[in-house]
Amino acid sequence: MAPEDFPAGGYWQDYVGFWFVWAAVLAATWVFFRSTRGRTGKLRLVGGNVLVLASFLWTLVLGGETYLRYVYDTTDSYGLTLTNWSWFSRHFHANTDGFRDAEFSREKRPGTTRVDCVGDSFTMGWGVKDPADCWPQRLDTALARRAPGPFQVRNFGVIGLTTAGEADIVDRIATLGGTDRVILGYCLNDPDDLMPPETWFRREEQPRVPFIEPTRSFLADFFWFRFKLARDPRVQGYFDWEIRAYEDPAIFDQQRARFRRIADTCRRASIRLDVVVFPMFSQWGESYGLDSCHDRVVAAWKELGVDAIDLRAAYRGIPGSDLAVNRFDGHPNERAHEIAAKTVLERAFGGR
């Protein structure tokens, strides 16, 4: 994970170092050619070519470092790269409760319907630069536009949350009181903590680029993780494992028990519960292979008397590449959040 003081673009001392090396290589090239002017021979030819090549290659390195540090501004699915750390430094700002939203007021104004959206990074808005574009905040804006004043929507999205963690947050919400509705943003990887340990992908355990300080080179870090992730069996077989989680009766029975815990908590606190089921956008398309997982989730919630809003229909016909943050990040982008908010408004609140 990123050091607490890691700034957007990384540490300036490291970046200045790249410029220093570039200047030194150019200076060495200029001195070499000046000192060997008028000479011929193999030494000048070979030495000159090596220095020119080094100048060219380090110029490319410097350009890549500059681009990845200060121009490239997006995330990756696993939160591993320095570019991802920079993105969070620029765009993720938590309130005093630790959530990516405006400050939560403890007191609820009379007549207000408080709606708390609980979920993982799909709800928090991983990869979405402006929190106002996340589906809970968009829902808040839409409800305010339709009926100014009576609704207050809060975003309780937390990175990496599983259904167990979401149940803990729902317990906390119910204990504090004042909440009228909970909307659970469900991602198909929410039962990951119930799967065999060999399938777990812990970002904090991934080795960084060898031989250099972990935060020093954005360029080396970027290509290192592109190479590593492409070869990691846990990444290659990730969605096969997700399907097995829903097909395994022992695992899914535990997941259903956690569904029941959330539903019971809301029922005891007289909180209406709705569930929004997101597809996995990196797999989304005409040959989407996770339909059976959606069907099981929706059926399980229905058995508990909870309305599950399955977003497959809302995204039908739109390529996954138009809904994901980028080719390296399968989180929903601004367009996907907008569609989700509109669908929740129509299905859960009966209006546009």
The predicted-structure confidence for 196-205, as pLDDT tens digits, reads as follows: 887 777 777 7
Cβ contact 297:256 at 8 Å: no
Burial of 121 (0-12, 13-18, 19+ CB in 10 A): buried
Detail the DSSP E strand segments found in the chain: 113-119, 151-157, 181-186, 272-277, 307-310, 324-326, 329-332
| Domain map (residue ranges) of the chain | 12-71, 85-349
Is the pLDDT at 38 greater than 80? The verdict is: no
Q: Which pLDDT does position 351 carry in this prediction?
A: 63
Confidence of residue 126 (pLDDT cuts 50, 70, 90): very high
Q: How far apart are the first and last CA of the chain?
A: 41
DSSP 105: P
Give the model confidence (pLDDT) of 287-334 as tens digits: 999 999 999 999 999 999 998 999 999 999 999 999 999 999 999 999
Looking up tokens 């519960």 gives 273
Band of the pLDDT at 350, cuts 50, 70, 90?
A: confident
How many angstroms separate the CA atoms of 58 and 26, rounded?
9
Contacts of 172 (CB under 8 A, 6+ apart): none
Q: Under a CB-based contact definition with an 8 Å cutoff, are residues 225 and 328 in contact?
A: no
Q: Say how far apart CA 127 and CA 146 lie, in whole Å.
A: 28
Separation of alpha carbons 228 and 207, rounded Å? 9
The domain made up of 85-349 is a member of CATH 3.20.20.70: no
Largest Cα span, the chain: 91
At residue 127's C-alpha, the angle toward residues 144 and 226, to 5°, is 170
Mean pLDDT to the nearest integer, 17-22: 97
Distance separating alpha carbons of residues 328 and 7, to the nearest angstrom: 22
- Unique residue bearing structure tokens 């995330």: 75
> What rounded mean pLDDT belongs to the chain?
93
Number of H helices and E strands in the chain, helices first, is: 13, 7
Q: Please tell me the distance from the alpha carbon of residue 137 to that of residue 294, in angstroms, as a whole number.
A: 25
Report d(CA 134, CA 99) in Å as an integer. Answer: 13
17 in helix, strand or coil? helix
What are the tokens at 20? 């220093």
CB neighbourhood size of 312 (10 A): 16
Q: Which two tokens stand for residue 170?
A: 């729902």
In three-state secondary structure terms, 244 is: helix
pLDDT, mean of residues 121-125: 98
| pLDDT of 98 above 60 | yes
* Token output for 80: 């591993």
